[in-house]
Amino acid sequence: MLAYTAGDTDVPLIEETIGDNFERIVARFPYHDALIEAAAVPGGEARRWSYTKMNDDVDRLARALLALGVAKGDRVGIWSPNCAEWTILQYATAKIGAILVNVNPAYRSHELEFVVKQNGMRMLVTAPSDRNSDYTGMARRALAECPELLELVFLPDAGLPGLTAGDPESEAERTYAELLKRADDVAHAGLKARMAELDPYDAVNLQYTSGTTGFPKGATLTHHNLLNNGYSIGELLDYTEHDRVVLPVPFYHCFGMVIGNLAAFSHGSATIIPGRGFSPAAALEAVQDFGGTSLYGVPTMFIAELALPDFASYDLSTLRTGVMAGSLCPIEVMKRVIAEMNMRDVAICYGMTETSPVSTMTRGVDTLAQRTQTVGRTMPQLESRVVDPGTGAVLQRGEIGELCTRGYSVMQGYWNQPDKTAEAIDAEGWMHTGDLARMDQDGYLVIEGRIKDMVIRGGENVYPREIEEFLYTHPDIQDVQVIGVPDAAYGEELMACVILKPGAATLDAAGLAEFCRGKLAHYKIPRYVDVRDSFPMTVSGKIRKVDMRQEAVARLHL
């Protein structure tokens, strides 16, 4: 049987803009909680928005942007960690047809200026500076270096210690509060007229890929892409107006703004922001304090939460579901999340920024094995297939090849990069993910790793995921990543980069080899062991194996 599946087509796609869909939900649940931001300082009060209040604030910001002359298709950047204003701007730009540009909060001046110039950004909304990032200073440098950038807007510091909000120094700069005052210059009818001009197939969002193999590329996503993907995710999670979704994942990434915000708001659910960045304690406190029914995270986040010394003291009884995505999920971690965090219906989502993002997902009816060993089945209204990376031929089920996806979720393309778009999306509309996968006889997909992460040792193809899953059963290993490093005899050798459990003794290559002997083929046993305190990661929680390989090569003089 060929490695091809098509998702359900019973539920038609939504033919609305994000703004129109949101207003329809507001009319249904006007006084339900929509957005809750946990207290910025201990003992402080959380900020809360009902659907009506959030819609009012979205409209006020949208009218202010219209007053400044922001046109349909103009690019408006948001460069900030998670906060309520991020969400409000997401919906305000959607209502006026501007294209929201998600700027990675970890970017520095050179990267920021590249993104501003690459898409011709008109306005940048920036976070207050903190000890890690001088957002204000770097934004001002971009203003000076990029003539297309006309305005900077400084978000408030929300009373948080260690943050410094920008004060305007020129006519091109204004505070968020000053921006909102401009709303009085545009009547509500003006906003309605702009909304009437919009089409669901208009671009609404630019998300830049990590750029690990060159300059970042801007995936251009439409209302139709994002709204339908978010809605479909919410449907498969059985979201209703009674759900409360805790989001410690970054909004600048699809995980936060689509799997999170759009999935929740398209169902009348509430979203809860635990803090500006990820804190395992803050995430669990948000579940406990606000009755969270769903919790999101990449595997490393769940590992950190489970590792808290006082983990057992948190009341997580309201949880029933959640999403684990962003990178491959260790089976042992998934089992603990289900058993110890009460997340009996937790789902694995798989996808990429270029596909809005989710292409496959597990369901609540799936068996434990299917929810711990696969990334689920093809999403509704989408197609999946596994092909030979060399020839493009569709493989048989059970064979490992490149996973491709097709359907409404595939991006319009990379902004102003038709050559890169053609490399990623073939003539038949299939998005080539770069991921190695196999499809089982029931249509469930198993991700074996990135094509570029596959290790070829002495002519044998070695898939790090298989070895990592086995090493998670070691009693002293809390987290592990397997990489390939150069070797004169075999071309590549394996290195296991491990984080040990608290109190565990050290682990060396000989000890690990003894644990593996008789259980793994000899060529799959790591030659090297690197005991670490942490892994290098992107802001979205993806582990950067490329950095670990470079470090290993330098340290071992390979």
**Quick check: 128 and 85 in contact, CB under 8 A?**
no
The confidence score (pLDDT) of residue 40 equals 82
Q: What is the pLDDT of residues 229-240, one digit of tens each?
A: 999 999 999 999
Count CA within 13 A, CB hemisphere, residue 161: 3
Predicted confidence at residue 429, as pLDDT, reads 98
- At 405 the pLDDT is 98
Question: 384 exposed, middle or buried (CB, 10 Å; 0-12, 13-18, 19+)?
Answer: buried
Cα angle value 85/88/93 (rounded, 5°)? 120
Residue 451 pLDDT greater than 90, yes or no: no
Residue 431 placed within a domain? no
Gap between the Cα atoms of 134 and 108, Å rounded = 9
Residue 406 belongs to a domain: no
User: Distance between alpha carbon 552 and the CA centroid of its chain, in Å?
Assistant: 28
End-to-end CA distance of the chain: 44
Helix (H) or strand (E) holding 529: strand 528-531
Lowest mean pLDDT among 51-55, 152-156, 388-392: 388-392
Three-state secondary structure string covering 252-275: CCHHHHHHHHHHHHCCCCEEEECC
Q: How many CB atoms lie within 10 A of CB 144?
A: 12
Residue 541 falls within a domain, yes or no? yes
DSSP element (H, E) containing 407: strand 401-407
Cα(521)–Cα(498) distance, rounded to whole angstroms?
20
What are the beta bridge partners of residue 208?
218
What residues pair up with 153 in beta bridges, in sequence order?
125, 174
Interhelix angle 299-306/331-340, nearest 10 degrees: 50
Q: Is the pLDDT of residue 160 over 60?
A: yes
**Tell me, what's the pLDDT at 331?**
82
User: What would the two tokens of residue 382 be?
Assistant: 């989408």
In a domain, 134, yes or no: yes
Q: With 80 as the cut, is the pLDDT of residue 545 above it?
A: yes
| pTM (global) more than 0.75 | yes
- H or E segment to which residue 24 belongs: helix 18-28
pLDDT band per the 50, 70, 90 thresholds, residue 540: low
Report the interhelical angle of 18-28 vs 84-96 (nearest 10°): 120
- Last residue in a domain, options 181, 199, 217: 199
Report helix angle 109-119 to 135-145, nearest 10: 40
Using only the alpha carbons of the chain, give its radius of gyration. Answer: 23
Q: Are 13 and 379 in contact, with CB atoms under 8 Å apart? A: no
Residue range 28-38: mean pLDDT, rounded: 98
Domain with 76 in it: what CATH number?
3.40.50.980
Answer yes or no: is 384 within a domain. no
Is 179 within a domain?
A: yes
Residue 470 lies in a domain: yes
Confidence of residue 210 (pLDDT cuts 50, 70, 90): low
Rounded Cα distance between 104 and 349, Å, is 22
Indicate whether 408 belongs to any domain: no
Contact 347, 320 (CB under 8 A): no
**What pLDDT shows up at residue 189?**
98
Pairing of strands 401-407, 431-439: antiparallel
At 533, is the secondary structure helix, strand, or coil? Answer: coil
Whether 24 has a pLDDT exceeding 90, the answer reads yes
Which residue from 526, 556, 532 is spatially nearest to 544, judged by alpha carbons?
532
Q: How far is CA 49 from the centre of its chain?
A: 24
For residue 212, name the pLDDT band (cuts at 50, 70, 90): very low
At 281, the amino acid letter reads A
| Residue 213 pLDDT greater than 60, yes or no | no
Domain end among 199, 229, 257: 199
The answer to whether 241 and 32 are in contact (CB under 8 A) is: yes
Nearest alpha-carbon partner for 90 in 209, 201, 256: 256
Tell me whether the omega of the peptide bond preceding residue 380 falls within 30 degrees of 0, making it cis: no
**245-254 pLDDT tens trace:** 999 999 999 9
In the structure, what pLDDT confidence band is assigned to residue 306 with cuts at 50, 70 and 90? very high
How many structural domains does the chain have?
A: 2
Q: Measuring CA to CA, which residue among 104, 499, 475, 42 is closest to residue 281?
A: 42
374/436 Cα distance (integer angstroms): 13
Residue 323 tokens read as 């999403």
- DSSP notation for 190-224: HHHHHHHT--TTSEEEEEE---TTSS--EEEEEHH
Last residue of one domain, picked from the residues 183, 199, 215: 199
CATH of residue 510's domain is: 3.30.300.30
Residue 546 domain boundaries:
455-556
| 524: Cα separation from own chain's centroid | 31
Question: Which alpha helices (H) appear in 242-365, and where do they start and end?
Answer: 254, 263-265, 280-290, 299-306, 331-340
**Beta-strand relationship, 382-387 and 4-6:** antiparallel
Q: What local confidence, expressed as pLDDT, does residue 379 receive?
A: 98
Backbone angles phi, psi at 250, to 5 degrees: -70, 140
